[in-house]
Structure 1
Amino acid sequence: MTRVSGRAETLDVLGVGFGPSNLALALAVQEHNERSGGSSRVEAAFVEQQAAFGWHRGMLLEGATMQVSFLKDLVTMRDPTSPRSFLNYLQGQGRLADFINTKTMFPSRVEFHDYLEWCAADVRHLVSYGTRAVAVQPVAGDDGTVDELDVVLRDAAGDGTRTVRTRNLVLATGLVPWLPPGVQRCERIWHNSELLYRLRDLAPAPPRSRRYVVVGAGQSAAEATAYLHDREDAAAVHSVFSRYGYSPADDTSFANRIFDPEAVDHFYAAPGEVKQMLMDYHANTNYSVVDPELIGDLYARAYQEKVGGEQRLHVHGASRVTGVPEAAAGDIDLQVEFLPTGQRHTISTDIVVYATGYRPIDPSGLLGDVGAWCRRAEDGELLVERDYRITTTAPLRAGVYLQGPTEHTHGISSTLLSTTAVRAAEIVDSVLGHRRPEPELPVAHDAVGEHATLGSGVGDPGVITE
């Protein structure tokens, strides 16, 4: 544990990860600072291990649209007058009238990603790309309390480490692709998150038509199936999932209220059994469900091919892949079981795409000793306050906030865009609400000591070089 030595400048917020959640936080911080000054200013910096901003780039499929209204962008639900709204982005791109004429609330995924990049460019001075947080170390005061944290950072190039000191740590490290036990990604076995990258690197199609199997029943699986079916005129595409058929997403008006900011308040205050009931009731708004129009499109394709007698799209409902596929030379032979009868058959394929979802990253590995002061429920889940601040015990008083894996406390919208803007404002308010007066410490006369003075957050965003 590091001891406070002299007066080292300290950030108010260090965000780890820079996807939409921490991007929304950066925008909220910037707009707060534009309105306020002096002691209410929030000094923030962010680190992201990618070399540049990117969000699900491997699934930016042509024609794929967002499943959430453009009004649920990074700012509008927090402040409809914000200059960083999707509508203001459209105005700046000269496409506002054109977009209005499309009569849709759901922009293409490619366009919305461009909006996210536009926002990220606006706060570029706050972000260190190509940088990974590798350790968090407590900084103790004279009385043993931990009001600050040292976060050790490593450049992607491996050029040593550097340390930043912060009063609050905001973890938004996203989700990681999940594959069934034993399945290993390789040249011909993929997760759908890397679909476009893998297709780009494929060798030219063999003389015969290429064959694909997509495993999964959700939106991403259906989109991948349709995309692969379109991509090569002669390609055979098999879709395998355990439901009898694709299930439609419930995006009706009353059901969508589960994504309202007010619903987070209700969910957070609810007893555990009510939380589970609500998650069960409304799982069909988000999990393993597909846009009804896409379901209809896939069914129409399969039917027309059946009429024509040359079927390329094969949907294997109520089925599952048994065993672990091996991508040796030649065919990949998948054993598929039809669940109602137990009958098994083999699908020989060239490529297997697993659209089997994502799992949250447990922050314990990064938090290290600090994690021992983060309280957990009996089931091992982190206890998180309404303001997304992890519940901690003495001597830790520095804030550790969690963006994303909080479904168990904040509900189904936690990993989605729906409440991102409002959540960012709540975290800024919480950081300000927990701020303590600066102690009167003697001014250090040695400019280079245990900690050098931090930058302003512009250019090199507040890092201490070791």
Structure 2
Amino acid sequence: MDTTERPSQGIYDVVGIGFGPSNMSLAIALEEHEASSPQHPVTSHFFERQPAFGWHRNMLLPSTTMQISFLKDLATFRNPTSRYGFISYLHAVDRLVQFVNNQDFFPTRQEFHQYLEWAAALLGDKVTYGAEVTAIRPATEDGGAAPDLLQIEVRTPDGGRSVVHARNVVISTGLVPRLPDGVRGDERVWHSSQFLARFRAQDPAGLQSVAVVGAGQSAAEITRFLYDSLPHAQVSAVIPSYGYSVADDTPFANQVFDPGAVDAYYFGTERARDSFWRYHRNTNYSVVDADVIRALYQRSYDEQVRGGEPRLHFRNLTRVADVERSGRVTRVALHSLLDDRTEELAVDALVFATGYDGVDPARLLGDFDRHFLRDAAGRHRVERDYRLLTASESMSCGVYLQGGTEHTHGLTSSLLSNIAVRSGEIADSIVLRRAGRDLDGAPAVRVASPAA
């Protein structure tokens, strides 16, 4: 195709990059809009680089549960009657009665993953798997950039390349695993995102000493799993704080994840936004559910009761200073802040549950990124409807973010808690902007966050 000409057909209203829960929720919102307004169809397609749907597969540990209610699914908070809700899934698999009898608001992670797979299968015609978007740029028209059309380059499953055109793109590429500076992963040094696959590739008899680095939920769950799965092994938890801190999931604190809290954060003062993080980081970041903390403490206490050499070791206020491979053994230099000493620990497997980094949209936008405004800290300025703020009011094509908007929209930006409402707001924005008006009837360009 000659990309200097506007294509006469095959223009999508929306192209989604990534097909995890957030963009799945958007696909559902767009489908349900079309069902309610068939006279105004919205065309969309999604590209996912994974060969099939998968969501944190390597952390589907036995008996681990979701940290959110089953009602915070792909659709219910936006449309309680949606056929894509978790309750609809339970009915479809003939397990609704049993789930109710279980009397638990929090399904296992395995069951929630099955729900997501079920929804992904229903949306199969909306997504191409094994396809990676490599670039986004404005389409060209009469030698210049077309203000209302985007050109998306895609590496196709067969290794070829294609170009699709859309009026809007929604970027939901997830997060990138983070390892400490200077640490490189290998078959014995893992990030938590690789855990189950790496663990299953090992001979358990060869794992005599293992260590887990981190203070959050994943670190605690992996520590418990290793202790239970390797009854012969020494298990060390390397914790940067003085033990695990409990996650605040009490009702008032949980209001920070309510849809209404997004407005409170977005339109709040700088002092208010700072208070959100200062007072409520303990709802999600570097914290652990109380039942997991108690379970680990109980195992440690049971060892004391039984006597003998303990297998479970908590190394509090300790940092990893260096990691060195020596044959099949990994040597870890651990620096204790308690006595300012460094000791060496030899392990057969070292797991870093050290979190994730966001992906800067500029990686896909390339030179096109200069058309979008950034704040004084160098972060993208984002409108209330999750659309990147453009430098030119004449640019009507839209780039939306699902994730990476913590600085403008608050704590829920990369979490499941608000995906149904957030995706509905993005879908509404796309539909209403196409009709030539903004969400509140104002001109099509909204004022950016006061945080800018």
Q: TM bucket by the smaller chain? A: over 0.9
Q: Which amino acid aligns with 1:409?
A: T
Change (3 A) 1:344 1:144: closer
Q: In 2, distance between residues paired with 1:52 and 1:166?
A: 24
For structure 2, the 5+ residue unaligned runs are 437-452
Give structure 1 regions of 4+ aligned residues with deviation exceeding 6 angstroms.
none
Confirm or deny: 8 A CA contact 1:145 1:397 kept in the other structure.
no
* 1:256 partnered with 2:257: no
Change (3 A) 1:291 1:224: same
Q: After superposition, what is the alpha-carbon deviation per residue over 1:5-40, rounded to whole angstroms, capped at 9, x for unaligned?
A: 4633310000000000000001111111122212x2
Partner of 1:244: 242
Report the secondary structure of 1:278's partner residue: helix
For structure 1, the 5+ residue unaligned runs are 438-466
Report the secondary structure of 2:203's partner residue: coil
Aligned residues, how many? 432
Change (3 A) 1:311 1:144: closer
| Structure-to-structure mapping, 1:330-341, within 5 angstroms | 330-341=328-339
Confirm or deny: 8 A CA contact 1:2 1:138 kept in the other structure.
no
Q: TM-score under structure 2 normalisation? A: 0.93
Partner of 1:451: none
Kindly state the Cα deviation for residue 241 of structure 1 after the two structures are TM-superposed: 1.3
Q: In 2, distance between residues paired with 1:19 and 1:210?
A: 36
Q: In 2, distance between residues paired with 1:366 and 1:26?
A: 21
Identity %: 47
Confirm or deny: 8 A CA contact 2:10 2:164 kept in the other structure.
no
Report the secondary structure of 1:135's partner residue: strand
Report the secondary structure of 1:30's partner residue: helix
Q: Which amino acid aligns with 1:216?
A: G
Confirm or deny: 8 A CA contact 1:140 1:147 kept in the other structure.
no
Q: In 2, distance between residues paired with 1:294 and 1:9?
A: 51
| Structure-to-structure mapping, 1:10-409, within 5 angstroms | 10-38=11-39, 40-141=40-141, 144-158=145-159, 160-206=160-206, 210-308=208-306, 309-323=308-322, 325-394=323-392, 396-409=395-408
Q: Which amino acid aligns with 2:19?
A: F
Confirm or deny: 8 A CA contact 2:139 2:150 kept in the other structure.
yes
Q: After superposition, what is the alpha-carbon deviation per residue over 1:222-255, rounded to whole angstroms, capped at 9, x for unaligned?
A: 0000011111111211000111010000000000
Confirm or deny: 8 A CA contact 2:6 2:139 kept in the other structure.
no
Q: Which amino acid aligns with 1:161?
A: R
Change (3 A) 1:263 1:5: closer
Partner of 2:434: 435
Report the secondary structure of 2:210's partner residue: strand
Kindly state the Cα deviation for residue 70 of structure 1 after the two structures are TM-superposed: 0.3
Kindly state the Cα deviation for residue 291 of structure 1 after the two structures are TM-superposed: 0.3
Highest RCO, 1 vs 2 (Cα 8 Å, sep ≥ 6): 1
Q: In 2, distance between residues paired with 1:49 and 1:210?
A: 36
Give the stretch that moved more between structures: 83-92 or 166-175: 83-92
Q: After superposition, what is the alpha-carbon deviation per residue over 1:130-187, rounded to whole angstroms, capped at 9, x for unaligned?
A: 00001112114458542101101002442x1011100000000000100000100101
Q: In 1, distance between residues paired with 2:10 and 2:52?
A: 27
* 1:417 partnered with 2:412: no
Report the secondary structure of 1:327's partner residue: strand
Report the secondary structure of 1:84's partner residue: coil
Q: In 1, distance between residues paired with 2:10 and 2:435?
A: 15
Confirm or deny: 8 A CA contact 1:373 1:396 kept in the other structure.
no
Q: In 1, distance between residues paired with 2:212 and 2:295?
A: 17
Q: After superposition, what is the alpha-carbon deviation per residue over 1:53-83, rounded to whole angstroms, capped at 9, x for unaligned?
A: 1000010001100000001000000011111
Report the secondary structure of 1:247's partner residue: coil
Q: Which amino acid aligns with 1:296?
A: R
Report the secondary structure of 1:419's partner residue: helix
Q: After superposition, what is the alpha-carbon deviation per residue over 1:358-391, rounded to whole angstroms, capped at 9, x for unaligned?
A: 0101111211122111111010111110000010
Q: In 2, distance between residues paired with 1:419 and 1:268?
A: 14
Q: Which amino acid aligns with 1:172?
A: S
Q: In 2, distance between residues paired with 1:401 and 1:364?
A: 13
Report the secondary structure of 2:411's partner residue: coil
Q: In 1, distance between residues paired with 2:301 and 2:372?
A: 55
Kindly state the Cα deviation for residue 259 of structure 1 after the two structures are TM-superposed: 0.3
Q: In 1, distance between residues paired with 2:120 and 2:328?
A: 44
Q: After superposition, what is the alpha-carbon deviation per residue over 1:314-336, rounded to whole angstroms, capped at 9, x for unaligned?
A: 0111111112x122304322111
Confirm or deny: 8 A CA contact 1:152 1:162 kept in the other structure.
yes
Change (3 A) 1:150 1:251: same
Q: In 1, distance between residues paired with 2:7 and 2:104?
A: 57
Q: In 2, distance between residues paired with 1:344 and 1:182?
A: 17
Kindly state the Cα deviation for residue 204 of structure 1 after the two structures are TM-superposed: 4.9
Q: TM-score under structure 1 normalisation? A: 0.90
Change (3 A) 1:306 1:157: farther
Q: Which amino acid aligns with 1:404?
A: G
Change (3 A) 1:382 1:285: same
Q: In 2, distance between residues paired with 1:86 and 1:134?
A: 33
Kindly state the Cα deviation for residue 122 of structure 1 after the two structures are TM-superposed: 0.9
Q: In 1, distance between residues paired with 2:241 and 2:97?
A: 42
Kindly state the Cα deviation for residue 344 of structure 1 after the two structures are TM-superposed: 2.0
Report the secondary structure of 2:87's partner residue: helix
Give the stretch that moved more between structures: 147-156 or 61-70: 147-156
Confirm or deny: 8 A CA contact 1:154 1:162 kept in the other structure.
yes
Q: In 2, distance between residues paired with 1:204 and 1:65?
A: 25
Q: In 1, distance between residues paired with 2:333 and 2:173?
A: 35
Q: Which amino acid aligns with 1:313?
A: L
